């Protein structure tokens, strides 16, 4: 079935039919190349040629394509410097380099000539050494001389011959003890002259007997070897001069204990020759142990996890940068930044109450989500910390944090009262930021208001001639005030005296005492009066009290105007109360006067504090009268 | 063909007398000198390359000295080395320390190798090998109900197919000359080898084949048919396990008419071998068991060996290394020797001609340990 049949079945438009025959013909050309496929089979593929036959044409092309000629290898002789016999020259295949091929062409004639002694040297120069010669390492086996043996190493169990034999075997087998033990076949020198020379005191039958080789266990051999080696070590280098490594080696060899070694081997042998049941039991026990250990590990992991959660994130940072004062200050700043950005959240949460979190059913507010969010926040904070460490750019941290917290804000849940208690969470208004100037309070009023209100207030203020910056009483002004007050009282007393004297002239001596009485009485009566005035004259009157403390007339007027301007808020009130506490009733008379005089001075007459004198006071009193 | 050429070069036909009378025969004052002169005159077929030979681990010092003498004097090798077969087999498996179980044709050996050297005390040798197995098969065929005659291929002129168990119908070839006994034996061995390769199987365990129940189980399983050259054929079921069981179980060995047949079994050899080595290296050896030799290619051999080792040493880590390819298993020592000779660090070990001349033949005992 060709593809046009398929098209027919699927009701596809045969528009491509026109172009297809040409394509077919194109493809038809390479097709006969596919070997081993019948034409019928090929036609099954329709437009798509059958890809059963692997294409090997590319392979052939690459083979004869741009390739360098094959590398030349040649049989090169080499020697091995590790050999005791240097004359043996073995050969191996080596890649031919340019200079080698040049060199090879030259000595060819030499090779053919019969090799003399001089030739041999020249050849050795040409022949390179095997690269493996350096791997020929020898084991260091201690050596001893005859005298050294006699003075240090004599042993009843071992003859010198056997010791020599042992050391030769050790050297031969490079300290591989299983092999040494395996090949150890000491046949005592047959009752030699040597032996008779050595121990003359020995009984004759002993020497006459054919010596039987003693069966030596590996422990015997080791013991003897280590004994000799340790002694020789100590002979060559006294113990106190040895390095740490040498000393430990010496100690190990000197303290070799064959019995423990034998015991150990016995255990090993027992372990090897267990029965099936024993092996099975052991296996079960091992499984049990493994399970216990695994459980223990899991427990430990859990505990560690818990500790990690409770702990501060560990600092992997170098703290030297925080040891200087500047470093500390930057750290503090960073912490403060982080703190602020952290603290903003709960406030935002409470302010923007009832963001999705609180809207959720209370079931959600149980402990698990909370712990989750806690975990997340910890993770986030540690993450942030790590970031900052990684980046090494501290200033970036707050911004990153902020971004993270923005994300997290939504995840915050509102806690129930109980949970707040558990976790020690408390909400409160924003705390004022330390000491401020009192006069700045007016600014606060302005700043918190909207733009339109702000405009209106400033307009009113300018209309009332109130400066944007209020002047507050100081120590000096109070002193001055007190002075004036005293003067006023004096004048009043004088006046009263004069009044008395007018109808009934009295001796001047009594005036003083009277004056004193008056002052006392006035001071006593003042609280009541102040309260009266406070009650009677509402805020309007209290405002002036505050203002009147100021020496400058401007201040007075502003205070009044502030009152008049109906901007009487509690803060002003408070300020007034404070003032009252300070300079209470002293000024009350004056204030009342002032209130009286105020209408007159509607335009806000300005009098400087220095100008303010007894004269003016008198005038006011006169007016009052 | 190539093999023939090589043998011809190494063992040239003695056509020397003519040369002996030639110009080189000047000094003739003794037998030894004549021999030497003979040697001088011969072609030195291996003068180009060093020679590495493998030998059985129980080879005697005399034989080794003779070997180096021939290699140096007759063949003119520039350098020579002798290595033990199990060591090379271990190298072929990539091990320096191993327990080599070499199940060959003439015998089976178990040897412990430590750091590339054999442990002499551990060498165990037993005749159970390919030839022993052939003998077992012969015994079995003799005792079989229709007795099986061994008629090698070369004797059959033509044959007609017959039913299983029916007597063969074949015409034998008549030779106008006498067939040598050795050729007959060789051809019979060929037939037996074919039987071993296609029919004989090792009971894989667990337990021994003679344990109750095992034989019945095998009887219920399909057997294998083997057709002799003369056309006689038979189904082999339990017998094919029985013939090889003697390698593992002494009591299972079929007794020859002369009463021989029993031999030290493989588990016994392993036990004896391990007892002759240090306790410390036994676990290491059991973890590196190298199986080599042609007879180890018997079906199920490795499974049985593993089972036996597990039963012997429960709880130990036992690992078998057996080459997967037939050739590698049969010529493990050759492969290992080739690896050894191509090692860069081996160059310093050769016994050179100069060293041989200085020290004489006993150098081989000193150097090739």
Q: Are A332 and A339 in contact (CB under 8 A)?
A: no
CB neighbour class for B355 (10 Å; exposed up to 12, middle 13-18, buried from 19): buried
Measure the CA–CA gap between A25 and B133, rounded to whole angstroms: 70
Q: In what order do the strands lie in the sheet with B51-55?
A: B51-55, B79-84, B351-352
- Nearest residue, CB atoms, A80 vs list B281, B315, B347: B347
Contacts of B278 in chain A (CB under 8 A): 177-178, 181, 218, 265
Counting other chains too, the contacts that A461-467 makes at CB distance below 8 Å and 24 or more residues apart are A461/A565, A464/A558, A464/A561, A464/A562, A464/A564, A464/A565, A465/A554, A465/A557, A465/A558, A465/A561, A465/A604, A466/A558, A466/A561, A466/A562, A466/A565, A467/A554, A467/A558
Best mean pLDDT range from A97-111, A419-433, A562-576: A419-433
Among A253-257, B20-24, B40-44, the range scoring the smallest mean pLDDT is B20-24
A137 touches chain B (CB under 8 A): no
Residue A251 banded pLDDT, cuts 50, 70, 90: confident
Phi, psi of B284 (to 5 degrees): -65, -40
DSSP assignment, residue A255? T
User: What is the reported pLDDT for A388?
Assistant: 39
Residue B113 banded pLDDT, cuts 50, 70, 90: very high
Which residues 6+ apart lie within 8 Å of B16 measured at CB? B38, B41, B42
With an 8 Å Cβ cutoff, are B347 and A132 in contact? Answer: yes
With an 8 Å Cβ cutoff, are B314 and A276 in contact? Answer: yes
Q: What percent of chain A has pLDDT over 90?
A: 7
Alpha-carbon radius of gyration of chain B: 25
Specify whether the backbone of B213 is left (phi greater than 0), alpha (psi in -120 to 50) or beta.
left
Mean pLDDT confidence for B10-34: 41
Alpha-carbon distances of A7 from A18, A48, B298, rounded to whole Å = 14, 15, 62
SS3 A291: helix
With an 8 Å Cβ cutoff, are B120 and A178 in contact? Answer: no
B115: Cα separation from own chain's centroid: 24
DSSP assignment, residue B74? I
Dmax over CA atoms of chain B, in Å, equals: 79
With an 8 Å Cβ cutoff, are B114 and A178 in contact? Answer: yes
Q: What is the DSSP string of B3-39?
A: HHHHHHHHS----THHHHTSTT----SSHHHHHHHHH
Among A437-446, B139-148, B169-178, B338-347, the range scoring the smallest mean pLDDT is A437-446
Measure the CA–CA gap between A539 and A563, rounded to whole angstroms: 7
User: What is the reported pLDDT for B185?
Assistant: 93
- Give per-residue pLDDT as tens, A6-16: 777 777 665 54
ipTM for this prediction:
0.79
Q: Which of A282, A286, A402 is nearest to A338 (CA)?
A: A402
- Nearest residue, CB atoms, B348 vs list A83, A177, A275: A83
Whether B267 has a pLDDT exceeding 70, the answer reads yes
Nearest-Cα distance to chain B for A43, in Å, is 44
- Nearest residue, CB atoms, A136 vs list B314, B348, B352: B348
- B→A contacts (Cβ < 8 Å), by residue, are 50, 78-79, 114-115, 117, 119-122, 277-283, 311, 313-316, 343-345, 347-348, 350, 352-355, 369
* Whole-prediction pTM: 0.56
- The larger pLDDT score, comparing residue A411 to residue B29, is at A411
Among A11-15, A23-27, A116-120, A620-624, the range scoring the smallest mean pLDDT is A116-120
User: What is the reported pLDDT for A157?
Assistant: 83
- Give per-residue pLDDT as tens, A516-533: 444 444 444 444 444 444
Phi, psi of A596 (to 5 degrees): -70, -45
With an 8 Å Cβ cutoff, are A183 and B120 in contact? Answer: yes
Residue B200 banded pLDDT, cuts 50, 70, 90: very high
Residue A294 banded pLDDT, cuts 50, 70, 90: very high
User: What is the reported pLDDT for B30?
Assistant: 33
Nearest-Cα distance to chain A for B241, in Å, is 26
Nearest-Cα distance to chain A for B357, in Å, is 12
Mutate to test the interface with B, among A77, A79, A88 (most CBs of B within 10 A): A88
With an 8 Å Cβ cutoff, are B347 and A280 in contact? Answer: no
Residue B97 banded pLDDT, cuts 50, 70, 90: very high
Q: Are B244 and B295 in contact (CB under 8 A)?
A: no
Residue A548 has which token pair?
């009147």
- CA end-to-end distance (rounded Å), chain A: 133
Phi, psi of B238 (to 5 degrees): -75, -25
Nearest-Cα distance to chain B for A169, in Å, is 11
With an 8 Å Cβ cutoff, are A88 and B352 in contact? Answer: yes
Whether B231 has a pLDDT exceeding 70, the answer reads yes
- The larger pLDDT score, comparing residue B196 to residue A525, is at B196
* Number of Cβ atoms within 10 Å of the Cβ of A192: 13
Quickly tell me which residue has 């020599």 as its tokens.
Answer: A164
CB neighbour class for A533 (10 Å; exposed up to 12, middle 13-18, buried from 19): buried
With an 8 Å Cβ cutoff, are B345 and A218 in contact? Answer: no
Host H or E run for residue A407: helix A396-409
Measure the CA–CA gap between A63 and A59, rounded to whole angstroms: 6
DSSP assignment, residue B106? S
- The larger pLDDT score, comparing residue A559 to residue B265, is at B265
Best mean pLDDT range from A35-44, A85-94, A344-353: A85-94
Mean pLDDT confidence for B244-248: 90
Q: What percent of chain B has pLDDT over 90?
A: 42
Alpha-carbon radius of gyration of chain A: 57
Contacts of B115 in chain A (CB under 8 A): 176, 179
- Give per-residue pLDDT as tens, A202-228: 444 444 456 677 788 888 889 889 988
SS3 B127: coil
Measure the CA–CA gap between B320 and B306, rounded to whole angstroms: 7
Measure the CA–CA gap between B152 and A483, rounded to whole angstroms: 153
Which residues 6+ apart lie within 8 Å of B296 measured at CB? B101, B103, B302, B322, B329
Q: Are B241 and B216 in contact (CB under 8 A)?
A: no
> Interhelix angle for A218-236 vs A160-172, to 10°?
90
- Give per-residue pLDDT as tens, B272-304: 999 999 888 999 999 999 999 999 999 999 999
SS3 B111: strand
Best mean pLDDT range from A233-247, A561-575, B183-197, B239-253: B183-197
Whether A539 has a pLDDT exceeding 80, the answer reads no
Q: Are A612 and A587 in contact (CB under 8 A)?
A: no
Contacts of A135 in chain B (CB under 8 A): 344-345
Residue A54 banded pLDDT, cuts 50, 70, 90: low
CB neighbour class for B278 (10 Å; exposed up to 12, middle 13-18, buried from 19): buried
Alpha helices in A436-507, H assignment, sequence order: 441-448, 451-463, 475-501
Mean pLDDT confidence for A172-192: 80
Mutate to test the interface with B, among A78, A85, A218 (most CBs of B within 10 A): A85
Best mean pLDDT range from A135-149, B31-45, B66-80: B66-80
Best mean pLDDT range from A8-12, A396-400, A484-488, B12-16: A484-488
Alpha helices in B145-265, H assignment, sequence order: 181-198, 214-220, 239-245
Q: Are B352 and A311 in contact (CB under 8 A)?
A: no
A43: Cα separation from own chain's centroid: 70
With an 8 Å Cβ cutoff, are B348 and A178 in contact? Answer: no
Nearest-Cα distance to chain B for A69, in Å, is 28
Q: Are B229 and B153 in contact (CB under 8 A)?
A: yes
Residue A57 banded pLDDT, cuts 50, 70, 90: low
With an 8 Å Cβ cutoff, are B279 and A268 in contact? Answer: yes
Chain mean pLDDT for chain B: 85
Measure the CA–CA gap between B12 and B6, rounded to whole angstroms: 10
Residue A413 banded pLDDT, cuts 50, 70, 90: low
Measure the CA–CA gap between A355 and A477, rounded to whole angstroms: 54
Measure the CA–CA gap between B171 and B178, rounded to whole angstroms: 18
Measure the CA–CA gap between B369 and B367, rounded to whole angstroms: 6
Q: What angle do CA B14, B15, B20 make, to 5 degrees?
A: 105
Whether B28 has a pLDDT exceeding 50, the answer reads no
Residue B363 has which token pair?
């150098």
B126 beta partners: B108
Measure the CA–CA gap between A290 and A287, rounded to whole angstroms: 5
Contacts of A269 in chain B (CB under 8 A): 279
Q: Which of B168, B226, B219, B146 is nearest to B193 (CA)?
A: B226
- The larger pLDDT score, comparing residue A190 to residue B255, is at B255
Residue B91 has which token pair?
């190298």
- Nearest residue, CB atoms, B121 vs list A82, A182, A269: A182
Q: Which of A410, A338, A426 is nearest to A369 (CA)?
A: A410
Q: In what order do the strands lie in the sheet with A128-129?
A: A90-95, A73-79, A128-129
Nearest-Cα distance to chain A for B92, in Å, is 21
Nearest chain B residue (CA) to A84? B348
Mean pLDDT confidence for A500-519: 52
Mean pLDDT confidence for B1-18: 60
Residue B133 has which token pair?
């197995």
Q: Are A107 and A126 in contact (CB under 8 A)?
A: yes
Chain mean pLDDT for chain A: 65
Measure the CA–CA gap between B256 and B142, rounded to whole angstroms: 10
User: What is the reported pLDDT for A124?
Assistant: 44
User: What is the reported pLDDT for A485?
Assistant: 94
Q: Which of A220, A215, A261 is nearest to B121 (CA)?
A: A215
With an 8 Å Cβ cutoff, are B355 and A274 in contact? Answer: no
Mean pLDDT confidence for A126-139: 77
Host H or E run for residue B321: strand B320-322
Mean pLDDT confidence for B157-169: 87
Whether A589 has a pLDDT exceeding 50, the answer reads no
A93 touches chain B (CB under 8 A): no
Measure the CA–CA gap between B316 and B163, rounded to whole angstroms: 51
Residue A114 banded pLDDT, cuts 50, 70, 90: very low
Interface contacts A/B by beta carbons within 8 Å: 89
Contacts of A272 in chain B (CB under 8 A): 279, 282-283, 313, 316
Mean pLDDT confidence for A564-580: 44
- Nearest residue, CB atoms, B282 vs list A272, A275, A280: A272
- Nearest residue, CB atoms, B114 vs list A87, A90, A176: A176
Q: Are B351 and B363 in contact (CB under 8 A)?
A: yes
Nearest-Cα distance to chain A for B347, in Å, is 7
Nearest-Cα distance to chain A for B277, in Å, is 7
- Give per-residue pLDDT as tens, B100-110: 999 988 899 99
Nearest-Cα distance to chain B for A115, in Å, is 16
- Give per-residue pLDDT as tens, A447-498: 667 788 888 888 888 888 877 777 777 888 889 999 999 999 999 999 999 9
- Give per-residue pLDDT as tens, A308-355: 888 765 566 666 777 778 888 888 888 888 878 766 554 444 444 444
Q: Are B86 and B332 in contact (CB under 8 A)?
A: no
Residue A35 banded pLDDT, cuts 50, 70, 90: low
Nearest chain B residue (CA) to A79? B347
Mean pLDDT confidence for B126-150: 89
Residue A492 has which token pair?
């009043």
């Amino acid at each position: 079935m060709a593809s046009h049949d398929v098209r027919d079945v699927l009701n596809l438009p045969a528009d491509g039919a026109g172009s297809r025959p040409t394509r077919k013909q194109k493809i038809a050309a390479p097709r006969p190349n596919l070997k081993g496929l019948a034409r019928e089979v090929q036609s099954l593929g329709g437009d798509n040629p059958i890809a059963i036959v692997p294409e090997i044409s590319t392979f052939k092309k690459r083979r004869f394509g741009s390739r360098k000629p094959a590398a030349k290898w040649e049989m090169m002789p080499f020697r091995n410097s590790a050999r005791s016999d240097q004359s043996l020259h073995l050969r191996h295949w080596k890649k031919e380099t340019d200079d080698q091929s040049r060199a090879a062409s030259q000595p060819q004639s030499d090779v053919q000539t019969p090799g003399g002694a001089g030739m041999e040297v020249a050849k050795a120069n040409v022949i390179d050494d095997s690269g493996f010669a350096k791997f020929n390492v020898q084991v260091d086996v201690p050596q001893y001389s005859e005298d050294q043996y006699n003075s240090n190493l004599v042993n009843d169990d071992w003859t010198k011959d056997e010791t020599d034999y042992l050391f030769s075997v050790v050297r031969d087998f490079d300290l591989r003890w299983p092999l040494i033990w395996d090949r150890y076949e000491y046949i005592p020198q047959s009752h030699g002259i040597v032996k008779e020379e050595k121990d003359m005191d020995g009984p004759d039958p002993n020497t006459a007997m054919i010596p039987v080789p003693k069966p030596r266990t590996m422990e015997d051999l080791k013991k003897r070897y280590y004994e000799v080696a340790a002694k020789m070590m100590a002979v060559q280098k006294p113990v106190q001069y040895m390095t740490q490594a040498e000393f430990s080696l010496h100690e190990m060899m000197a303290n070799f204990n064959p019995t423990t070694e034998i015991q150990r081997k016995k255990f090993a042998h027992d372990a090897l020759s267990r029965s099936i049941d024993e092996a099975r039991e052991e296996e079960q026990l091992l499984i049990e142990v493994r399970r216990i250990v695994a459980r223990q590990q899991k427990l430990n992991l859990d505990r560690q996890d818990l500790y990690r959660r409770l702990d501060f994130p560990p600092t992997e940072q170098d703290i030297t940068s925080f040891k200087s004062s500047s470093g500390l200050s930057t750290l503090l700043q960073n912490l403060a930044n982080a703190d602020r950005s952290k603290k903003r959240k709960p406030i935002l949460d409470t302010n923007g109450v009832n963001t999705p979190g609180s809207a959720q059913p209370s079931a959600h507010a149980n402990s698990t989500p909370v712990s989750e969010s806690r975990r997340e926040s910890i993770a986030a904070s540690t993450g942030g910390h790590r970031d900052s460490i990684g980046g090494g750019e501290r200033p970036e941290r707050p911004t990153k944090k902020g971004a993270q917290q923005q994300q997290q804000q939504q995840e915050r849940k509102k806690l129930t009262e109980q949970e707040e208690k558990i976790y020690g969470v408390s909400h409160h208004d924003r705390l004022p930021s330390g000491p401020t100037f009192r006069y700045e309070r007016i600014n606060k009023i302005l700043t918190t208001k909207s733009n339109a209100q702000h405009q209106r207030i400033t307009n009113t203020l300018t209309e009332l001639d109130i400066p944007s910056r209020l002047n507050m009483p100081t120590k000096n002004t109070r002193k001055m005030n007190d002075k004036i007050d005293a003067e006023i009282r004096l004048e009043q007393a004088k006046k009263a005296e004069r009044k008395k004297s007018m109808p009934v002239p009295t001796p001047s001596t009594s005036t003083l005492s009277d004056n004193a009485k008056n002052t006392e009485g006035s001071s006593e009566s003042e609280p009541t009066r102040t309260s009266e005035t406070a009650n009677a004259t509402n805020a309007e009157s209290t405002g002036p009290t505050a203002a009147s403390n100021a020496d400058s007339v401007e201040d007075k007027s502003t205070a009044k105007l502030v009152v008049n301007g109906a901007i009487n808020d509690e803060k002003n009130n408070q300020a007034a109360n404070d003032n009252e506490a300070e300079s209470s009733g002293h000024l009350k008379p004056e204030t009342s006067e002032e209130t009286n005089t105020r209408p007159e001075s509607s335009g806000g007459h300005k009098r400087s504090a220095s100008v303010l004198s007894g004269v003016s006071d008198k005038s006011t009193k006169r007016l009052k009268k | 063909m190539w093999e023939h050429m090589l043998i011809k070069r190494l063992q040239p036909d003695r056509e020397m007398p003519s040369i002996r009378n030639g110009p080189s025969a000047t000094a003739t004052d003794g037998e030894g000198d004549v021999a030497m002169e003979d040697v001088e005159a011969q072609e030195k077929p291996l003068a180009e390359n060093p020679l590495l030979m493998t030998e059985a681990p129980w080879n005697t010092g005399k034989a080794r000295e003779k070997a180096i003498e021939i290699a140096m004097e007759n063949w003119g090798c520039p350098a020579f080395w002798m290595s033990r077969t199990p060591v090379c087999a271990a190298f072929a498996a990539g091990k320096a320390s191993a327990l080599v179980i070499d199940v060959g044709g003439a015998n089976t050996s178990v040897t412990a190798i430590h750091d590339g050297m054999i442990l002499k005390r551990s060498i165990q040798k037993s005749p159970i090998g390919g030839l022993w197995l052939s003998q077992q098969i012969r015994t079995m065929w003799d005792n079989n109900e229709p007795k099986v005659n061994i008629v090698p291929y070369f004797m059959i002129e033509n044959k007609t197919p017959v039913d299983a168990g029916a007597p063969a119908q074949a015409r034998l070839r008549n030779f106008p000359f006498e067939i040598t006994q050795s050729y007959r034996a060789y051809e019979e061995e060929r037939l037996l080898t074919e039987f071993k390769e296609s029919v004989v199987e090792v009971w894989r365990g667990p337990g021994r084949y003679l344990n109750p129940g095992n034989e019945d189980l095998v009887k219920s399983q399909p057997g294998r048919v083997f057709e002799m050259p003369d056309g006689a054929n038979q189904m082999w079921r339990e017998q094919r396990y029985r013939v090889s069981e003697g390698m593992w179980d002494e009591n299972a060995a079929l007794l020859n008419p002369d009463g021989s047949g029993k031999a030290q079994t493989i588990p016994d050899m392993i036990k004896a071998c391990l007892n002759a080595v240090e306790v410390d290296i036994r676990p290491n050896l059991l973890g590196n068991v190298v199986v080599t030799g042609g007879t180890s290619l018997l079906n199920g051999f490795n499974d049985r060996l593993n089972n036996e080792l597990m039963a012997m040493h429960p709880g130990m880590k036992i690992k078998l290394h057996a080459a997967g390819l037939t050739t590698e298993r049969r010529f493990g020592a050759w492969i290992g020797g080739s690896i050894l000779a191509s090692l860069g660090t081996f160059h310093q070990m050769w016994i050179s001609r100069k060293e041989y001349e200085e020290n004489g033949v006993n150098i081989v005992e000193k150097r090739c340990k």
